[in-house]
Amino acid sequence: MSEDFLKNPLSLFDVKSKTAIVTGATGAFGAIAAKTLAAAGANVVLTANNADGLKKIAAECGKLGGKTETIAKRPSSEANCDAIVATAVEKFGSLDILVVASGQNKVAKIVDQKAEDFLDVMDANVTQSWLMARAAARQMIKQGRGGKIILMSSARGLLGHPAGYTAYCASKSAVDGITKALGCELGATGITVNALGPTVFRSPLTEWMFADDDRGKTVRAGFLTRVPKGRLGEPEDLAGPLLFLASKASDFYTGHILYADGGYTAG
């Protein structure tokens, strides 16, 4: 067995000059993913509905040394997914990495939730992940040199939640199923398919859980009784696992959900 990698073990995590697509790039995790890959030297195609937000993230990626292209589309249709992939190929010549960071949640108890809201969550988190993965896989197979597909799961794909998360939990469990099935289906092509599963990490939507007011302290204290690391997540806690999944370091790791959750799902 060759051990050439031992001459430079850090090369296993090298994504320099690779081309990545990040959907939902204006969201909390999407922005982290885009900036992490850009700082590591990848070319990054940023996608989301918010054109102004994309410009802001692109500028931040540029300051970190990455080359970017933006396309103001969500992976909400076959045509949009094909256009997103085409943008990457036209701008940078290939597609090596896909990060599906787009999605949504609509919280409501099942007796109160509208059927259309449940279906919206399933569409955003499941169908759009499948459509984008399919478009990327077609391009990667055509190129014939493998690739990395990273979907967005959650601890809630494994565990339930008492506060109106039936749509979200179901959608993330479905993402886990897609990840495992595609890991098996695409394994022989050299394409790895994995998902990143965080729990609560700092973002505009979760900032209240980090606050020192009575509500934040109470909810945080209760939550942390189940987190062995004893703290909530920070953006940098997702950067390392993402880079692992996007790089050669994970070439023999496929069909898995990597939980970046401080041990939350281990208990």
How do residues 75-118 score in pLDDT, each as one tens digit? 999 999 999 999 999 999 999 999 999 999 898 999 999 999 99
Tell me what pLDDT residue 267 has: 78
Phi, psi of 75 (to 5 degrees): -80, 50
- The mean pLDDT of 27-34, rounded to a whole number, is 95
Which pLDDT band holds residue 229 (cuts at 50, 70, 90)?
A: very high
Tell me what pLDDT residue 249 has: 97
Q: Which is the catalytic residue, given 168, 253, 259, 264?
A: 168
Amino acid at 119: L
CB atoms closer than 10 angstroms to residue 94: 16
- The mean pLDDT of 134-156, rounded to a whole number, is 97
- The mean pLDDT of 110-137, rounded to a whole number, is 97
Tell me what pLDDT residue 112 has: 95
% pLDDT > 90, the chain: 84
- Tell me, rounded to whole angstroms, the distance of Cα 84 from its chain centroid: 16
In the residue annotation, 253 being an active-site residue is answered as: no
State whether the Cα torsion 128-261-61-194 is positive or negative: negative
Phi, psi of 170 (to 5 degrees): -60, -40
Which pLDDT band holds residue 171 (cuts at 50, 70, 90)?
A: very high
Tell me what pLDDT residue 7 has: 83
Which pLDDT band holds residue 5 (cuts at 50, 70, 90)?
A: confident
The DSSP line for 118-153 is HHHHHIIIIIHHHHHHHHHHHHHHHHTS-EEEEEE-
Give the DSSP H or E segment for 159. none
Between the alpha carbon of residue 29 and those of residues 109, 151, 172, the distances in Å are 26, 11, 15
pTM for this model (two decimals): 0.95
Tell me what pLDDT residue 235 has: 85
> Is residue 246 predicted with pLDDT exceeding 80?
yes
Q: Which domains does the chain have, with CATH numbers?
A: 4-204+237-261 (3.40.50.720)
